[in-house]
Structure 1
């Protein structure tokens, strides 16, 4: 009878320890998310499943073109690409990104831009004075984000600057669907 009791106690301990490890992993290291909507297409598709790295935010700064998940509202998280960092002046003219007056290539948009007609643009012209907050540069402690599907994305052009403390983590790895397994670019 005591052997059965010990077996049950061992199982309960194992389940509790496993649950604690999973909780700690999700709180501090990585979290799975599901992409909802078309705003990051063609880089990420609706219903793709990703692993978001939370730990790297502790040891390194967010970089331009990182794909981040952030709290857009109390109930919703969004996934977008970082375009502007604190102090940056961002402007789009004739489908070209300018950061601090310098042309910056966005090779991740090349495929989408190939589908455009000769007089069409993928990203409409704007500068930071046109977005909520009416600033000339990205404020300290904030980033400017855009979806890769520029014609169909709710991003900083609508939401304004994103506080860095609202960023959950950086998308690192796609694990579903199986044909899309790999690192996120």
Structure 2
């Protein structure tokens, strides 16, 4: 019986020790798992934060580019594709020009005779046309058009526009003088085609004569 008791005590002690070690190992394992879980959660948070920062930077860059482009094309200069024969031979069909918009936005009274301008069509507000300023406010227009002669004075705040190709141009001879407010830009360069890149700034020589 004594031996049995000793064996029982031995195995009881061993089981208790095993349970103790198992409990300690379990706690260590739990701590390791929690630490690993925290590490994964931290990495996930860092990845989410990094992705969010990249997205925020991309949106900021896109906004700056769009705003800058809008300001440049609205107030400074814009490339425009011109179509039609009305400005031949100066500007041909499908030429691409640069129109400066600073004058239209801030110094509208700085236009001169001979300037080539892009204006909003008085017959279709969704369409733009390109013509040359032939007369300024106060100038007297005397023109023969459609087998009839007419004579009129350009009123204040208006300009008289004509195409260089007078035989194939719809201009002020049909719709009259246009308000300067319809001018959106002044043509300064042709940039396409490459073999005809040219400065198109006004080379008109002013004179005291105001009768056209």
> 3-state DSSP class of the match of 2:83?
coil
Q: In the TM superposition, what are the counterparts of 1:117-136 in structure 2 within 5 Å?
A: 128-129=150-151, 136=152
Q: Residue 66 of structure 1 corresponds to which residue in structure 2?
A: 115
The 2-side partners of 1:175 and 1:92 are apart by: 33
TM-score (norm: length of structure 2): 0.65
Asked if the contact 1:69/1:167 (under 8 Å) is kept, the reply is yes
Match of 1:11 among 28, 36, 58: 58
Q: Residue 98 of structure 2 corresponds to which residue in structure 1?
A: 51
Match of 2:68 among 12, 18, 21: 21
Match of 1:172 among 185, 188, 191: 188
Distance 1:143 1:28, change over 3 A: same
Match of 1:83 among 128, 134, 146: 134
Q: Residue 182 of structure 1 corresponds to which residue in structure 2?
A: 198
**Runs of 4+ residues deviating >6 angstroms:** 123-126
**Which has the higher Rg, Structure 1 or Structure 2?**
2
Distance 1:161 1:127, change over 3 A: farther
> 3-state DSSP class of the match of 2:91?
coil
Return 52-61 or 150-159, whichever deviates more.
Answer: 52-61
Asked if the contact 2:143/2:150 (under 8 Å) is kept, the reply is no
Match of 1:151 among 149, 162, 167: 167
Q: By percentage of residues, which structure has more helix?
A: 2
Higher relative contact order (CA 8 A, sep 6+): 1
Aligned residues: 150
Gaps of 5+ in 2: 1-46, 202-212
> 3-state DSSP class of the match of 1:56?
helix
Q: In the TM superposition, what are the counterparts of 1:31-50 in structure 2 within 5 Å?
A: 31-50=78-97
| Offset, 1:29 | 1.6
TM-score (norm: length of structure 1): 0.73
| Offset, 1:128 | 4.6
The 2-side partners of 1:65 and 1:12 are apart by: 44
Return 12-21 or 27-36, whichever deviates more.
Answer: 27-36
